[in-house]
Amino acid sequence: QPATIARYRQCLKTYQEWLGADEISSDSAKEFIDYLRQQGFKPSTVRLYYHVLKPFLSHLGIPLRVKLKKERRLPTYHGPDEVRAMLETIQSRKDRWSKLKERDRLIVLVLAYTGIRRGELLSLRLRDINFHDRMMRIRGKGDRERVIPIAGALYTPLRNYTRDMQPGDHLFPLRPKRIWEIITRYAKLAGIEDVHPHSFRHYVATQLVGRGVSIDKVQQLLGHADIASTAIYFDVLPQHLNSAVSALPKVS
């Protein structure tokens, strides 16, 4: 994705500026990583710099090995009431052209019923939607594809919105920043804090886990390459352990 390329380029530029006239080396890269830590950068940011620098130095024949502390934060999540509030807010807007309201509403519905990433949402074309089988093809990270079902409540709005589109048309021909603006604006108008496009991914995962869906099915739907990413949501909602505890034999 262009945004990823820009982010990686910025990481290398920051390293270059810090390096100055010094020679690129494994030691200087390690010192740079230590510098980032001392400056109070988040572990996730330090990890990003490391994963950008390592292949860059490897291309130059310079090995780099740094032990990084793993950060495992539990994601925050919202419930169905917040999603409904956003949809009602979109519907109640009087200053929006009906087609734009339909688009914005569908963006929220697709995110809320699929949990796909923002980049995956923007990559969706009409030819990726199989209305007959009620399935959609998602292009995920690393060009990995997966096919997921279209929820019943999503089918009709999706069908109506795409009625006049051609197979090659993008469903949402927007910039990534625009998706962010649409979601955050309606969340703010609905009085909901800390909502962004990725919040719907957390929402879908926690709702599925809370309803007893198995970890492998959640992983498949969300397109997680590593099941450890999916397992985080089972820590957020420990209620899924209730049935396991109930299955233990009574001893008193």
Residue 79: phi and psi, rounded to 5, are -110, 180
Indicate if 117 belongs to the active site. Answer: yes
Pairing mode, strands 145-149 and 129-130: unpaired
- Percentage above 90 pLDDT, the chain: 47
Indicate if 203 belongs to the active site. Answer: no
Indicate if 70 belongs to the active site. Answer: no
* Stretch (H or E) spanning 57: helix 43-59
Catalytic-labelled residue, pool 9, 141, 144, 177: 141
Per-residue pLDDT at 239: 56
- Percentage above 70 pLDDT, the chain: 88
Indicate if 141 belongs to the active site. Answer: yes
Report CA-CA distances (Å) from 105 to 85, 86, 90, 91, 111.
11, 9, 6, 8, 10
Per-residue pLDDT at 252: 40
Indicate if 59 belongs to the active site. Answer: no
Residue 146: phi and psi, rounded to 5, are -145, 155
Per-residue pLDDT at 188: 94
Catalytic-labelled residue, pool 47, 201, 202, 240: 201
* Identity of the residue numbered 159: R
Model confidence at 240: pLDDT above 70? no
pLDDT in tens, 43-53: 878 888 888 89
pLDDT in tens, 82-110: 999 999 999 998 876 788 999 999 999 99
Pairing mode, strands 129-130 and 135-139: antiparallel
Indicate if 170 belongs to the active site. Answer: no
pLDDT-derived band of residue 125, with 50, 70 and 90 as boundaries?
very high
Average pLDDT over the chain, rounded to an integer: 86
Q: 36-50, 57-71, 120-134, 234-248: which has the highest mean pLDDT? A: 120-134
Per-residue pLDDT at 245: 42
Which domains can be identified in the chain, with CATH numbers?
2-59 (no CATH), 80-238 (1.10.443.10)
77 vs 153, more confident? 153
Tell me the average pLDDT across 180-195: 93
* Identity of the residue numbered 121: L
Of all residues in the chain, what percent are helix, strand and coil, respectively (each to 5)?
Answer: 60, 5, 35
